[in-house]
Structure 1
Amino acid sequence: MKPIRIWLIPAGPNPWKAVVILEELGIPYEITSIKFDDVKKAPYTDINPNGRVPAIYDPNTDITLWESGAIIQYLIEQYDTDHKLTYTTLKEKHHLNQWLQFQMSGQGPYYGVAAWFNVLHPEKLPSAIERYNNQLKRVLGVLDGWLETRQWLVGDKMTYADLAFVPWNDRIDSVILCKPEEKFAGFPNVKAWHERMISRPAWKRCMEVREPLMKEQGLDQETGRPTKFKTHQEFEEAVARGENTDP
């Protein structure tokens, strides 16, 4: 099998949703690591006109895809022939898709906006911070209640739906600026579920791959922006002026 190419910004959580699936299924892949200020312009926008990561190209089927949810579904359908991370029965199959859609429409956007107002926005807006921190906790509450009587979101094994939640949950502390040991405070079932997944070799390999990519671009481990800039606004202004943002 030829390796799948995946384009990513190492700081972003969404690409690692796809990478952990690749790792779990043992699919060979090659990373093209791009800079934040290159994601909105050609040649990357020729691959993904929306200017977001990740995107993949599979030379085995000659298909290019973007949107992490679509990529996950493709990888499962095309390569999880042993159904390691999925089910084929009617109810379970659609319940998996249901939870993936919740991750895409609930967890990702709310956590992302919370990160913006807590960390990246140049002004501190208490009402916005409160709203989106509460939304983040609401999502955790949905998950915690569901996991009260079960180990996994669907069925009796870990699936792609579970794994899709890992990258954003793993960085809650840097999103809402709390202590790492407090990020799941009040949500013990989510904490136990998350720890089951990040203890797996596939996730550990993801983080081993990510670390040198972050260092290569001189990116702050928490905010994701180049360490030479004190604020995200300062970074965006440099990008707008066409300045070199390399470390």
Structure 2
Amino acid sequence: MSHGKQFTLYSHKKGPNGWKVAFVLEELGLTYETIYLDFQAKEHKAPEHTKYNPNGRIPTIIDHHNNDYVLWESDAILYYLVEKYDPEHKVSVTDEGDKFHQLQWLFYQSSGQGPYFGQAAWFTFYHHEQLPSAQERYKGEIKRVFSVLESVLSKQEWLVGGKTTIADLSFIPWNDFAVPGIVDIDFAKEYPATAAWHKKLVEREAVKKVLAIRAGL
């Protein structure tokens, strides 16, 4: 593999979590090559990938400018990228208290949003039988997460530090997938502050660039 680009990003064309890493790489102007793993062919579980990521999931990055440093888990990757490559704090915060709040939201995204939204998608589209009770539970969790975001974003423009950060960016892909893909809601009417926040995020130049790449695959 040529290491002309600084990062190798192992991702998936449809998997939401890889795209958030691409957003931040673009925001910071970092160069990267994306390898889209074929889940049908189990490439994510193959030794060529699990030698880097024993969990056999995406995303995984290799930082070729840092002794081929390997990292997996999407929000850990976001934190690494800004800690190491965002000295101007383009998408990160400086205040110590804000740093912990930034981390708090990353934990909430990875534990509260991603798994529940993912389970909602699984039981809606991929499970071998239709289980309305499971679908109802996880679709209800999507609405609960939106309610939590709404309670905060109705009082402030961004999640932390009064600016766009990795905390905000981390939520984009699953929000994008959930509405209208999984839940049938009027996003702008039921969660107006959250919908407005999401709209501002997807209109960022770096995010638009990555979304255009995704649309072209």
Q: TM-score range by the shorter chain?
A: over 0.9
Task: Determine helix, strand or coil for the equivalent of 2:144.
Answer: helix
Residue 126 (structure 1) aligns with? 132
Q: Does structure 2 retain, via aligned residues, the 8 Å contact 1:47–1:64?
A: yes
Alpha-carbon deviation of 1:184?
Answer: 5.0
Give the residue type in structure 1 aligned to 2:128.
Answer: P
1:151-162 map, 5 Å: 151-162=157-168
TM score, norm. by length of structure 1: 0.82
Residue 199 (structure 1) aligns with? 203
Q: Does structure 2 retain, via aligned residues, the 8 Å contact 1:21–1:72?
A: yes
Residue 12 (structure 1) aligns with? 15
Q: Does 1:35 align with 2:41?
A: no
Query: What is the alpha-carbon distance in structure 2 between the residues aligned to residue 145 and residue 184 of structure 1?
Result: 14
Match of 2:116 among 110, 113, 119: 110
Give the residue type in structure 1 aligned to 2:79.
Answer: Q
Residue 176 (structure 1) aligns with? 182
Residue 156 (structure 2) aligns with? 150
Residue 208 (structure 1) aligns with? 212
Q: Does structure 2 retain, via aligned residues, the 8 Å contact 1:118–1:177?
A: no
Flag structure 1 segments of 5+ consecutive residues without an equivalent: 214-247
Query: What is the alpha-carbon distance in structure 1 between the residues aligned to residue 178 and residue 100 of structure 2?
Result: 28
Q: Does structure 1 retain, via aligned residues, the 8 Å contact 2:123–2:135?
A: yes
Alpha-carbon deviation of 1:193?
Answer: 0.3
Match of 1:24 among 10, 27, 38: 27
Task: Determine helix, strand or coil for the equivalent of 1:39.
Answer: helix
Flag structure 2 segments of 5+ consecutive residues without an equivalent: none
Task: Determine helix, strand or coil for the equivalent of 1:155.
Answer: coil
Alpha-carbon deviation of 1:178?
Answer: 3.2
Measured against aligned partners, the alpha-carbon deviations of 1:61-105 in whole angstroms (never above 9, x if no partner) come to 020111101111110101001011111211111000000100000
Query: What is the alpha-carbon distance in structure 1 between the residues aligned to residue 89 and residue 215 of structure 2?
Result: 30
Q: Does structure 2 retain, via aligned residues, the 8 Å contact 1:172–1:183?
A: no
Give the residue type in structure 2 aligned to 1:137.
Answer: K
Larger Rg, first or second structure (1 or 2):
1
Alpha-carbon deviation of 1:58?
Answer: 0.5
**Count of aligned positions:** 211
Give the residue type in structure 1 aligned to 2:28.
Answer: L
Q: Does structure 2 retain, via aligned residues, the 8 Å contact 1:14–1:53?
A: yes
Q: Does 1:99 align with 2:105?
A: yes
Q: Does structure 2 retain, via aligned residues, the 8 Å contact 1:56–1:65?
A: yes
The share of aligned pairs that are identical, in percent, is: 45
TM score, norm. by length of structure 2: 0.93
Alpha-carbon deviation of 1:10?
Answer: 1.1
Instruction: Give me the CA root mean square deviation.
Output: 1.5
Q: Does structure 2 retain, via aligned residues, the 8 Å contact 1:103–1:165?
A: yes
